């Protein structure tokens, strides 16, 4: 099933937007890449629509259709009624002419098949008197029920979709022909593939648009005004109901669109909350005019509805009914083969995520799952990674940062752009004899340090690195490093306490000074003695003076 929706790995940026928007969480993350789980996917196309990097792509059937056209067999297109919203101002006639230029034998509206399906729904309500009847036009809804709510399969109408009914009707009228459905839906590709022999290929509006552009075919702005086109309402929310009589006594008629709303309705049915009703279900918000391929480029649900509303007539297509047995289709349970994890396994994963108490389970949804427990189950099933948790990553990063800052022997201070203390570690507190961090947090740095260096760094854009500073009020010497982060607008100040080192240096300087002074005195005294002896002996003292001067210089160098 995932054959129809592929991932472009080079584009996937590990943003998790697809899993956040996937209503059934049928996406696995491995190696930082999103992978669609075929046996769990309902092909609603949400991930395709929301992906900011266009990392999801619908597999094209263009080449398959082109080969079909070249075979010499008549190929008839069934065009979804939502085309009028996708191709503004274009009616079925100009679209038929364009498709014939591409090589199609003919093109018709899928709304013809919708009329057949609507008639069958009315018959089932009237004659079968089912407690609950759910429309089966939307293949994504069918997959949702088949995979996730098998107990509700008994309520799903075992009737062909409009696409299938129309293709059956076409093949009844054109012997040995092939049929191609063209619409806004990804799921129809799977429906055609699963129920082989009815619809031979499926193209999306996007594929058709690309094909027309490649052949330099321009769609003409022309609409027809046939009145027998009420079934054109089908692609809108509540559109099926608009075409039906909805007059069965004691029977309710409901329209539900969007996967989340469909799930809520199925749970109501599961809990016994609904009876005696026909439910029109569509996976896409706004129904087919909000389909994934249309929604990707046409984000105007009100305008799209208005387009369809203006194009639809007030009576039904004149169509010969198909035999009742041909209108039936089998909708079986699809096993996802998932084994529920044990409570012990879930608890262990939660513990690894730093969630040891119920109050730790924030259920923020940043990972894409509705709850921390749901995320833990996904980790056990190999669909998610523990690191896919914003609070967990933030806590981990904060803990790592705090461990480094609080255990470094260097003083560490962070200021905001207003020179207010935002963070200070214990080493800095010790350097400045501050009792507790709470005493200075939020306060201006001028309370504890001269702010001039911070001001200079901000104004000049040049960081200070290892500047020797004497903190007179604390009697401490520090090597000061100050950097300004212009992106986050904060200062980072690192102070290395070099007081002992500085005192030792000063002590050595004092000793050297004293030694030099003593040496000067010794030299002066020795010179006097030498001169006295020299005057007595009549010898020069030059060599002795040079030797003693060198001794003085060597002591000074130390």
What is the per-residue pLDDT for 1?
A: 46
Residue 169 lies in a domain: yes
Residue 446 lies in a domain: yes
Residue 50 lies in a domain: no
**Strand 106-109 and strand 75-79: pairing?**
parallel
Residues 68 and 206 grouped into a single domain = yes
Q: Domain boundary at 448, 470, 497, which?
A: 497
CATH label of the domain that carries residue 483: 3.30.450.20
Residues 485 and 531 grouped into a single domain = no
Residues 377 and 237 grouped into a single domain = no
Residues 449 and 540 grouped into a single domain = no
What is the per-residue pLDDT for 520?
A: 79
Percentage with pLDDT > 70 across the chain: 93
Residues 171 and 99 grouped into a single domain = yes
Residues 364 and 423 grouped into a single domain = no
Residues 162 and 64 grouped into a single domain = yes
Residues 361 and 220 grouped into a single domain = no
Residues 365 and 315 grouped into a single domain = no
Residue 9 lies in a domain: no
Q: Domain boundary at 386, 407, 428, which?
A: 407
Q: Domain boundary at 304, 327, 350, which?
A: 327
CATH label of the domain that carries residue 373: 1.10.15
For 503-512, the CB contacts below 8 A with 24+ separation are 503/477, 512/555, 512/556, 512/558
Write out the DSSP string of 533-558. HHHHHT---HHHHHHHHHHHHHHHH-
pTM of the full structure: 0.72
Q: How far apart are CA 329 and CA 345, in angstroms?
A: 41
Question: Could you read off the pLDDT of 207-231 as tens digits, one per residue?
Answer: 999 999 999 999 999 988 788 899 9
Question: Could you read off the pLDDT of 420-452 as tens digits, one per residue?
Answer: 999 999 999 999 999 999 999 999 999 999 999
Beta strands in 432-474 (DSSP E): 464-471
- What is the pLDDT of the chain when averaged over all its residues? 88
Question: Could you read off the pLDDT of 34-47 as tens digits, one per residue?
Answer: 888 888 999 999 98
Residues 190 and 302 grouped into a single domain = yes
What is the per-residue pLDDT for 545?
A: 66
Split into its structural domains, the chain has a count of 4
Question: Could you read off the pLDDT of 312-330 as tens digits, one per residue?
Answer: 999 999 999 999 899 999 9
Residue 7 lies in a domain: no
Q: At what angle do helices 92-102 and 205-214 cross, to 10 degrees?
A: 60
Residue of higher predicted confidence among 397 and 364: 364
Domain containing 552 equals 501-557
Q: Which of 146-150, 276-280, 340-344, 541-545 has the lowest mean pLDDT?
A: 541-545
């Amino acid at each position: 099933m995932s054959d129809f929706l592929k991932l472009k790995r080079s584009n996937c940026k590990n943003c998790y937007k697809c899993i956040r928007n996937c209503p059934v969480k049928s996406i696995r993350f491995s190696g930082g890449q999103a992978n669609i789980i075929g046996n769990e996917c309902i092909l609603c196309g949400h991930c395709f629509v929301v992906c900011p990097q266009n990392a999801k792509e619908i597999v094209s059937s263009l080449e398959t259709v082109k080969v079909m056209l070249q075979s010499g067999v008549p190929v008839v297109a069934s065009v979804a009624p939502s085309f009028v919203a996708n191709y503004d101002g274009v009616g079925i006639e100009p679209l038929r002419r364009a498709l014939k230029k591409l090589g199609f034998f003919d093109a018709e509206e899928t709304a013809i098949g919708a009329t057949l399906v609507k008639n069958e729904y009315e018959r089932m309500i009237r004659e079968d008197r089912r407690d609950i009847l759910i429309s089966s036009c939307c293949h994504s809804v069918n997959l949702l029920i088949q995979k996730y709510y098998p107990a509700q399969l008994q309520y799903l109408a075992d009737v062909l979709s409009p696409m299938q009914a129309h293709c059956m009707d076409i093949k009844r009228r054109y012997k040995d022909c092939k049929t191609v459905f063209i619409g806004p839906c990804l799921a129809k590709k799977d429906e055609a593939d699963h129920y082989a022999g009815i619809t031979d290929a499926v193209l999306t509006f996007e594929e058709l648009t690309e094909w027309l552009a490649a052949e330099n075919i321009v769609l003409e702005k022309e609409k027809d005004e046939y009145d027998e086109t009420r079934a054109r309402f089908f692609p809108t929310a509540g559109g099926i109901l608009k075409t039906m009589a909805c007059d069965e006594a004691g029977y309710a008629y409901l329209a539900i669109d969007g996967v989340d709303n469909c799930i809520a309705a199925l749970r109501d049915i599961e809990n016994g909350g609904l009876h005696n009703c026909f439910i029109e279900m569509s996976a896409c918000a706004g129904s087919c005019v909000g389909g994934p391929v249309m929604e990707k480029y046409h984000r105007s649900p009100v305008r799209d509805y208005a387009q369809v509303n203006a194009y639809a007539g007030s009576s039904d297509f004149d169509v010969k009914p198909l035999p009742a047995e041909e209108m039936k289709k089998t909708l079986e349970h699809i096993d996802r083969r998932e084994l529920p994890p044990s409570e012990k396994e879930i608890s262990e994963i939660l513990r690894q995520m730093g969630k040891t108490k119920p109050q730790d389970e924030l259920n923020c949804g940043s990972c894409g799952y509705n709850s921390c427990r749901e995320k833990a189950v996904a980790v056990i099933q190999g669909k998610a990674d523990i690191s896919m948790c914003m609070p967990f990553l933030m806590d981990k990063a904060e803990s790592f940062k705090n461990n480094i800052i609080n255990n470094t022997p260097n003083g560490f201070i962070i200021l905001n752009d207003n020179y207010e203390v935002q963070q200070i570690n214990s080493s800095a507190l010790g350097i400045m004899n501050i009792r507790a961090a709470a005493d200075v947090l939020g306060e201006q740095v001028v309370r504890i340090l001269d702010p001039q260096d911070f001001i200079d760094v901000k104004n000049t854009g040049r960081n200070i690195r290892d500047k020797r500073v004497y903190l007179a009020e604390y009697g401490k010497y520090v090597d000061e490093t100050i950097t300004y982060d212009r992106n986050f607008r904060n200062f980072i100040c690192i102070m290395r306490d070099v007081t002992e080192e500085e005192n030792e240096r000063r002590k050595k300087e004092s000793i050297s000074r004293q030694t030099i002074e003593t040496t000067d005195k010794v030299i002066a005294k020795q010179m006097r003695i030498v001169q006295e002896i020299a005057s007595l002996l009549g010898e020069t003292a030059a060599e002795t003076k040079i030797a003693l001067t060198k001794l003085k210089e060597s002591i000074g160098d130390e």
